[in-house]
Amino acid sequence: MEERGWDQVDFVYVIGDAYVDHPSFGHAVISRVLESKGYRVGIISQPDWRDPDSVSIFGEPRLAFLVSAGNMDSMVNHYSVSRKRRKSDAYTPGGVMGKRPDRACTVYGNLIRQTYKKTPVILGGIEASLRRLAHYDYWSDHIRRSVLLDSGADIISYGMGERSIVEIAEALDAGLPVEQITYIDGTAVKVKSLDDVYDAELLPSFDELRREKKKYAESFYTQYLNTDAFNGKRLAEPYSDHLYVVQNPPAKPLTQTEMDDIYGLPYTRTYHPSYEAAGGVPAIAEIRFSLTSSRGCFGGCSFCALTFHQGRIVQVRSHDSLLKEAEKITHEKDFKGYVHDVGGPTANFRHPSCRKQLEHGVCRNRQCLFPEPCRNLDADHSDYVSLLKKLRAVPGVKKVFIRSGIRFDYLLADKKQDFLRELCEYHVSGQLKVAPEHVSAPVLALMGKPEHKVYETFCRRFSRMNERLKKEQYLVPYLMSSHPGSGLKEAVELAEYCRDLGYMPEQVQDFYPTPSTLSTCMYYTGLDPRTMKPVYVPKDPHEKAMQRALIQYRNPKLCDLVLEALRKAGRMDLVGYGPKCLIRPRGGAQNREAKNREAQNRGIPQKKRTNTGASSLKKKRTIRNIHKKK
């Protein structure tokens, strides 16, 4: 501050991550955007949450404190799906765990309030965005209030916050009291009365949500139908007669020019030099030589929170903007010629799914790709193919990979198939990761994923294309266990698919109930909020372990779990020596049973067992011993 001649900053930004000045980190984008508008921003990274003085380094900001847990929800960052503490944190210098608190937004907000009672506090980032209204919290197994109330903050800037944070800054700079800034799109605020809130749809009260799971499912689906910037309604959630949390409609999507301007800001593209002694920040490795070409996703997967956070309308950067960034990357000292990724939430989405979206928004009650591609879908990869060709031609670039996920049903919907050839010929490093997730039709329907036959069609076309190109390349499928709707029967079906494929994944993603997804709502309520029909939910940790083990049935350490799962599923026909069996018998009665079953399958008469077998064996052993003594 002294070097810049500042006596006070306009905003103090408290973050749970290490400070990385790269456009893949939310705090870098928001601070650079505010800086470009003339505001002074001071960043406090990973303060000691046990010490109120740790947030007083810059003194009181002129306008507000900004608070973010970081690029990940702090609870997901700290705990695995089995609620076990993780050993490292990729967003902390040296990967050290424990530099941020659980529920970081809440803790940081209250920490600030201990010293600065009246200073406005604005929450942002993924943790606050997905907890902006009452939500199911997997780690406590309870419905929790809006994080706005628990943190003591004044406003949540939810979703991608570039528009809303600038509007908030301008309102505060104009002298407007924070309690009167209740109108900005892309924000959630608390009010004492709805008298001045117009056109709001009233959600069930917090007490109702805690009492009745059906009410929670209904409320969540109302929120889900109002995630679009063009047709989303204002929502109000009552907590008492004198306290409401109001969610304003989402902020409008960014234009291509606005996207270019944001990604063209003067990022240093690396972590703060003070972290060098600790070995740097591990998370930078994945994104340092990658390009973000888009945001938003119309894929509609039930277990993904992108609908609530980035929205379904795809926003893109121009070719010129991406080529300039690629050229910058080539001059970085550690660049070896390989661009690791060009994409976004879904790599091959480079424009809105249909022409009407930027005027009317997305359909409220229909998906673009599920249960099958909409007839209005504009499935066209020509812009993406053109971009990839230009990036390959940048001097210093040897190879451009695509790692951020290909939506294979969208690829198949493109009649030209130019992209598949381009993908196989230039952009796969031997293996391409794709996400069919499951094979069981009922589970796929709950996931919002296409039927398994669609994935099989893609596999055949991928294989034929590689044969034509004389390349040996493989698909690596991501699979998920224990999703709502998946019982042992469905898990066995997935295991049989892995057997027929000759593939055993080293890691299996067990469904993780994170805030604000359709699947998490199913997990908590046992209902599909879209239809209100009951859904089977595997919650018992032992059953979840069996479902994971079935997918990894070749692992000898998991044999007992696989055997137990097959027995409970009534599929002991998969225990034996035949080509369709998953595991071998463990000896004794199981061994005899398997051999008899195998003999029956082959039409071989079984030998009758008699009681003389044991005594005959004893006589033979006695005679053998006598001969040895002689």
Span 109-153, pLDDT tens digits: 999 999 999 999 999 999 999 999 999 999 999 999 999 999 999
Distances (CA, A) of 55 to 50, 67, 94, 261, 475: 11, 11, 23, 31, 48
CA distance 13 to 33: 13
Task: Summarize pLDDT for 341-388 with one digit per residue, the tens.
Answer: 999 999 999 999 998 888 889 998 899 999 999 999 999 999 999 999
Label residue 587 by pLDDT band (50, 70, 90).
low
Composition of the chain by helix, strand, coil, percent to 5: 40, 15, 45
Q: Give the pLDDT score at 586.
A: 78
β-pairing, 315-316 with 155-157? unpaired
Averaged pLDDT for residues 191-195: 94
Which comes out higher in pLDDT, residue 258 or 355? Answer: 258
Q: Give the pLDDT score at 590.
A: 54
Q: Give the pLDDT score at 603.
A: 59
Q: Give the pLDDT score at 597.
A: 58
Please, are residues 348 and 380 in contact by the beta-carbon 8 Å criterion? no
Task: Summarize pLDDT for 313-326 with one digit per residue, the tens.
Answer: 999 999 999 999 99
Label residue 591 by pLDDT band (50, 70, 90).
low
Q: Give the pLDDT score at 614.
A: 47
Per DSSP, the three-state class of 234 is: strand
* Residue whose C-alpha is closest to residue 221's, from 143, 307, 314, 309: 307
Quick check: 535 pLDDT over 50? yes
H helices present in 470-553, as ranges: 488-501, 518-525, 541-551
- Residue whose pair of structure tokens reads 């049935």 in the numeric block: 553
Q: Give the pLDDT score at 609.
A: 45
Architecture of domain 289-429: 2-Layer Sandwich (3.30)
Amino acid at the residue 575: V
> 289-429 and 435-599: same fold?
yes
Share of the chain above pLDDT 70, in %: 93
CATH (one of 3.40.50.720, 1.10.3080.10, 3.40.50.10540, 3.30.750.200) for 435-599: 3.30.750.200
Point out the least confidently predicted range of 7-11, 252-256, 400-404, 418-422. Answer: 400-404
Q: Give the pLDDT score at 630.
A: 45
Averaged pLDDT for residues 606-622: 48
Point out the least confidently predicted range of 206-215, 267-276, 428-437, 605-614. Answer: 605-614
Averaged pLDDT for residues 308-316: 95
CA 531 vs. chain centroid, Å, equals: 24
Which comes out higher in pLDDT, residue 429 or 125? Answer: 125
Task: Summarize pLDDT for 442-469 with one digit per residue, the tens.
Answer: 999 999 999 999 999 999 999 999 999 9
Quick check: 159 pLDDT over 80? yes
CA distance 335 to 394: 13
Quick check: 550 pLDDT over 70? yes
Quick check: 293 pLDDT over 90? yes
Sketch the domain layout of the chain as residue ranges: 11-247, 289-429, 435-599
Query: What is the DSSP code string of 432-465?
Result: EEEEEE---HHHHHHHT---HHHHHHHHHHHHHH
β-pairing, 431-437 with 474-481? parallel
Please, are residues 512 and 480 in contact by the beta-carbon 8 Å criterion? no
Please, are residues 233 and 184 in contact by the beta-carbon 8 Å criterion? no
Mean pLDDT, all residues of the chain? 92
Q: Give the pLDDT score at 405.
A: 85
Label residue 620 by pLDDT band (50, 70, 90).
very low
Please, are residues 592 and 571 in contact by the beta-carbon 8 Å criterion? no
Residues 6 or more apart in contact with residue 484 via CB below 8 angstroms:
446, 511, 519, 522, 523, 535, 536, 537, 538
Task: Summarize pLDDT for 53-79 with one digit per residue, the tens.
Answer: 999 999 999 999 999 999 999 999 999
Quick check: 601 pLDDT over 70? no
* Residue whose C-alpha is closest to residue 202's, from 245, 249, 259: 245
Q: Give the pLDDT score at 613.
A: 46
